[in-house]
């Protein structure tokens, strides 16, 4: 709201900086805490909840109903207010608190969950009385008994993890470029902008739901084949649009629009869900938020690169942007074939010692 009310570029940049910081913090925290709510065979459900599909659908409907921008802001605030309370409730994940070393907070949450207020059925297996931090300290490894500072350095601690991190970063740069190109630089849009986002949101939401159902009904279907299928489809769509841009063949606008739409929907559903799940499975809880923060930063980097290429400073920016995306997608597919792990049946880990047996808690101080 303050960005819209800005009267010059300096005020706009300041407000956008704070908006970006708050949005990035909430985005990283929400996806990290959503992972703590579900594991096992339902682990794809939280990743389906972070899709932009439902948001695009709601936003397009609100824009259609609220012609006045003031009414639009009022409706958006009415929608976002309960989401803020849900965000605060997610801060009470005892697994997250325990992994961070906040034993007192984890003990309070576990005591509340074990109380008669939330107990259902037989209480024989429940623990009576208050759970203390002294009872929880025995669950921590010796080198995690103290709260340590974990940086992004631990994402590159071992060779195998370093390879996975690089592949994920490359995929997220591509994801950011595709999203920026589709939402701001797609000159093939042949429908109303509200219909454009409504179709994109509905199809993304539908594809995400299908992926979750396939994951439940077909246990043998791994995540790596799904990722490779999504990235390969993305490469084909970019090849089609790149062909029409570099040749003199005048293709119908709806052909290019369909190709770009398939690319964007695939990128924001299949590819993003597989990337997020791999991030959750490969990295332990204590550095998982750092991993998501780094990947979201790579997404923003891709958006910046594509926005610069699509600006008026480059006369052939769209061709260069298409070619760059195609090269990144092909490179990501090749690296994924070689180094991307299959994470469908991996159990999410809590501490660095669970992933790196040679981990030393003093590595950051040496």
Q: Is residue 4 part of a domain?
A: no
* Nearest-angstrom CA–CA distance, 42 and 54: 20
* Nearest-angstrom CA–CA distance, 243 and 263: 15
Q: Which helix (H) or strand (E) holds 85?
A: helix 69-89
Q: Are residues 223 and 308 in the same domain?
A: yes
Task: Report the pLDDT averaged over residues 41-59.
Answer: 73
Q: Are residues 254 and 278 in the same domain?
A: yes
Q: Are residues 218 and 132 in the same domain?
A: no
Q: Are residues 135 and 226 in the same domain?
A: no
Q: Are residues 53 and 134 in the same domain?
A: no
Task: Report the pLDDT averaged over residues 322-344.
Answer: 83
pLDDT in tens, 237-295: 888 877 777 776 666 667 777 777 777 788 778 888 888 888 888 887 777 888 888 88
Q: Are residues 42 and 129 in the same domain?
A: no
| Residue 10: predicted pLDDT | 82
Q: Are residues 162 and 24 in the same domain?
A: yes
Question: How many other CB atoms sit within 10 Å of the CB of residue 8?
Answer: 7
Q: Is residue 348 part of a domain?
A: no
Range of the domain at 128: 102-139
| Confidence band of 364 (pLDDT split at 50, 70, 90) | very low
Q: Are residues 278 and 165 in the same domain?
A: yes
Give the SS3 label for residue 94.
helix
pLDDT in tens, 95-110: 667 666 677 877 887 7
| Residue 148: predicted pLDDT | 58
Give the total number of structural domains in the chain: 2
Whether the Cβ atoms of residue 319 and residue 246 lie closer than 8 Å to each other? yes
Q: Are residues 161 and 253 in the same domain?
A: yes
Q: Are residues 321 and 217 in the same domain?
A: yes
Task: Report the pLDDT averaged over residues 185-213.
Answer: 75
Name the least confident of 185-199, 223-237, 273-287. 185-199
Q: Are residues 87 and 111 in the same domain?
A: no
Q: Is residue 287 part of a domain?
A: yes
| Residue 362: predicted pLDDT | 42
pLDDT exceeds cutoff 60 at 2:
no
- In the numeric block, which tokens belong to residue 23? 């949005």
Whether the Cβ atoms of residue 301 and residue 169 lie closer than 8 Å to each other? no
Q: Are residues 58 and 131 in the same domain?
A: no
Query: What contacts 246, CB < 8 A, 6 or more positions away?
Result: 319
Q: Is residue 28 part of a domain?
A: yes
**Residue 36 has what DSSP assignment?**
T
| Residue 318: predicted pLDDT | 66
Using CA atoms, how far residue 282 sits from 90, 147, 204, 354, 362, in Å, is 22, 21, 26, 11, 22
Give Dmax over CA atoms of the chain in angstroms: 77
The chain-wide mean pLDDT, for the chain, equals: 74
Task: Report the pLDDT averaged over residues 311-319.
Answer: 64
Name the least confident of 142-146, 282-286, 351-355. 142-146
| pTM (two decimals) | 0.71
Q: Is residue 362 part of a domain?
A: no
Q: Is residue 350 part of a domain?
A: no
Highest mean pLDDT among 44-48, 214-218, 260-264: 214-218
């Amino acid at each position: 709201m303050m960005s819209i009310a800005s009267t010059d570029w300096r005020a706009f940049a300041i407000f956008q900086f704070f908006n970006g910081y708050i949005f990035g913090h909430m985005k990283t925290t929400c996806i990290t805490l959503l992972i703590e709510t579900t594991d096992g065979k339902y682990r794809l459900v939280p990743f389906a909840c972070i899709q932009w599909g439902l948001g695009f659908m709601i936003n397009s409907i609100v824009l259609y109903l609220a012609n006045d921008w003031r009414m639009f802001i009022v409706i958006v605030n009415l929608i976002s207010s309960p989401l803020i309370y849900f965000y605060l409730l997610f801060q009470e994940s005892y697994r997250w608190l325990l992994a961070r070393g906040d034993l007192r907070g984890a003990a309070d949450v576990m005591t509340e969950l074990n109380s008669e207020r939330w107990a259902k059925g037989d209480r024989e297996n429940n623990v009576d009385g208050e759970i203390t931090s002294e009872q929880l300290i025995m669950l921590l490894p010796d080198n995690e008994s103290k709260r340590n500072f974990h940086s992004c350095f631990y994402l590159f601690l071992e060779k195998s993890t370093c390879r996975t991190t690089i592949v994920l970063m490359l995929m997220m740069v591509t994801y950011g470029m595709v999203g920026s190109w589709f939402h701001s630089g797609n000159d093939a849009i042949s429908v109303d902008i509200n219909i454009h986002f409504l179709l994109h949101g509905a199809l993304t939401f539908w594809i995400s739901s299908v992926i979750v159902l396939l994951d439940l009904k077909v246990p043998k279907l791994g995540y790596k084949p799904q990722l490779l299928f999504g990235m390969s489809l993305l490469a084909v769509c970019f090849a089609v649009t790149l062909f029409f841009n570099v040749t003199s063949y005048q293709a119908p606008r709806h052909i290019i629009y369909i190709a770009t739409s398939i690319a964007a929907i695939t990128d924001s559903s299949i590819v993003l869900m597989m990337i997020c799940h791999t991030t959750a499975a490969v990295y332990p809880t204590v550095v998982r938020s750092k991993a998501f923060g780094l990947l979201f930063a790579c997404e923003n980097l891709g958006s910046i690169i594509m926005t610069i290429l699509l600006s008026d400073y480059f006369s052939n920016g769209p061709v260069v942007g298409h070619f760059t995306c195609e090269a990144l997608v092909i490179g990501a597919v090749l690296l994924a074939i070689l180094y991307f792990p299959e994470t469908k049946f991996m159990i999410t880990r809590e501490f660095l010692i669970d992933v790196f047996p040679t981990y030393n808690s003093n590595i950051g101080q040496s």
